Amino acid sequence: MFSLTRELFWALAGNTVVGFGAGTATIAAFAPSLPVVGDPHFLVRTVIVSIGFAFFFAGYHITQAGTYRDTSEPLVTSLAPHVNQSATDENPNRNRSIKTNGMVVVRGIFIILGVLGLGAGMRLFAMTIESWDPMLGLLSGIVCISGYIFGHIGINWVLL
């Protein structure tokens, strides 16, 4: 059973990280210039926006994992990706470790593609607003939505 205090704590903790990430991504994508780096190249902005989305994803995962974790399970374990694979050879621990590590890498690749896709898509969207171009708008939508889908797969290991 979940307690309201516990759920509220994890909602606030995760949403604080989400807010920081979303704010960073938005400012880096839309601001005419950035503190310290001025008016950076598209790739530099994309990396900064992507870092914002990485924080966004982390906050989202913190909210989920913290709220729904088994309290007997260590917090670090609940925040790590879960892989429900059964071992099949005579040394179950060795096989499970190989499968688990491989899945963590695959999920990590999806998350990286997700944050980079969202970062590039959001910056392209900002450029579309600055100077209207229908093809750039279409590209920004495709890149951004693809990034969201890849990130969602990496975090939740489900398509949508």
Taking only the tens place, the pLDDT of each residue in 120-136 is 999 999 999 888 899 99
Taking only the tens place, the pLDDT of each residue in 68-85 is 877 787 777 777 665 544
Instruction: Enter the pTM of the model.
Output: 0.77
> How high is the pLDDT of residue 77?
73
**CA 61/CA 63 separation, integer angstroms:** 5
